[in-house]
């Protein structure tokens, strides 16, 4: 008799297909992705005994060979939580009253974009940051003055910054959902979905959702930034939302 758990494998497809699409578009070949998955399997199995699981036990839990597990334990993976200096610049510009969102000089010793950028990161020229922010519409420049046009940084499509945001946001969302399934933690994870709608109806719903979500996220951002410093601690949170529609999929040409 087949293991009953294998009957659940089809539920992986909706998770793996978008990941496979991303991998193919980015040129991440299957052997490379498979290696990352092996690392993830080992790390997940190690949490069973709070990091003290033996190679033999990890092999039983994952199906990996013991010799592979020993090698994977000794391999290092890239660090997580990469800084987002452009997002930090915008956040500081918005929150620090010394920097007027309506306009600050590019150069200057006091409240200028140069001092703002160097306060976030000194190994990159401030002009480099400014050019990227102007290019994606987050900042406008008139003469030697620059103004902030948005409260949050939206990375350019296909950039490393966008991939980093995707990894952080989707990773935390999936972690919350998985915790609800396999653990006692109950993270907020709800959605609403309908079918049989027109493209015009989808646009109306999308516009409404974006408007309300932007307001909610702005309120959370303000609340988090104004909490008393006495509440500093080791924990973090991430809250967000998504709106998916199949307009692009339905419009794509089909094979004859």
pLDDT at 229: 64
Give the per-residue pLDDT at 212.
95
The CA-atom distances, in angstroms, between 31 and each of 16, 34, 97, 167, 222 are: 15, 5, 50, 20, 44
Contacts of 139 (CB under 8 A, 6+ apart): 130, 133, 146, 147, 148, 149
Is the predicted pLDDT of residue 195 greater than 90, yes or no?
yes
Enter the tokens of residue 242: 């998504």
Q: Is the dihedral of CA 94, 100, 103, 106 positive or negative?
A: negative
* pLDDT the model gives residue 253: 55
The rounded mean pLDDT for the chain is: 86
24-41 pLDDT tens trace? 988 888 999 999 999 999
Q: Tell me the pLDDT tens digit for each residue of 142-170.
A: 999 999 998 878 777 778 888 888 899 99
Percent of the chain with pLDDT over 70: 90
pLDDT at 233: 78
The Cβ of residue 76 has, within 10 Å, a number of other Cβ atoms equal to 6
* Residue 256 pLDDT level (bands cut at 50, 70, 90): very low
pLDDT at 121 over 50: yes
Give dist(CA 170, CA 161) in Å, integer.
14
What tens digit of pLDDT does each residue of 211-255 get? 999 999 989 988 888 887 666 778 889 999 999 999 887 665 554
Between residues 175 and 7, which one has the greater pLDDT?
175
Reported as a single tens digit per residue, the pLDDT across 41-61 is 998 898 887 767 888 999 999
Q: Is 192 a residue whose pLDDT tops 50?
A: yes
- Residue 1's pLDDT band, with cuts at 50, 70 and 90, is very low
């Amino acid at each position: 008799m087949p293991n009953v758990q294998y009957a659940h494998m089809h539920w992986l497809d909706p998770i793996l297909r978008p990941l496979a699409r991303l991998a193919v578009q980015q040129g991440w070949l299957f052997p490379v992705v498979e290696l990352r998955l092996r690392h993830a399997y080992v790390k997940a199995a190690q949490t069973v005994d709070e990091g003290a699981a033996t190679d033999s036990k990890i092999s039983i839990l994952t199906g990996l060979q013991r010799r592979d597990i020993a090698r994977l334990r000794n391999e290092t993976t890239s660090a997580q939580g990469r800084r987002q200096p452009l997002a930090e610049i915008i956040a500081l510009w918005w929150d620090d009253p010394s920097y007027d969102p309506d306009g600050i000089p590019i150069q200057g010793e006091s409240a200028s974009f140069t001092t703002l950028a160097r306060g976030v990161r000194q190994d990159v020229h401030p002009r480099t940051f400014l050019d990227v922010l102007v290019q994606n519409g987050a900042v406008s420049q008139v003469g030697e003055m620059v103004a902030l046009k948005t409260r949050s940084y939206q990375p350019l499509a296909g950039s490393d910054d966008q991939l980093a945001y995707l990894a952080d946001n989707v990773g935390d969302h999936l972690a919350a959902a998985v915790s609800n399934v396999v653990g006692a933690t109950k993270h907020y994870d709800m959605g609403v979905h309908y079918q049989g709608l027109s493209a015009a109806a989808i646009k109306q719903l999308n516009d409404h959702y974006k408007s309300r979500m932007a307001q909610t996220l702005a309120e959370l951002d303000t609340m988090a930034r104004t909490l008393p410093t006495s509440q500093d601690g080791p924990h973090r949170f991430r809250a967000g939302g998504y709106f998916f529609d199949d307009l692009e999929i339905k419009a794509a040409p089909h094979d004859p």
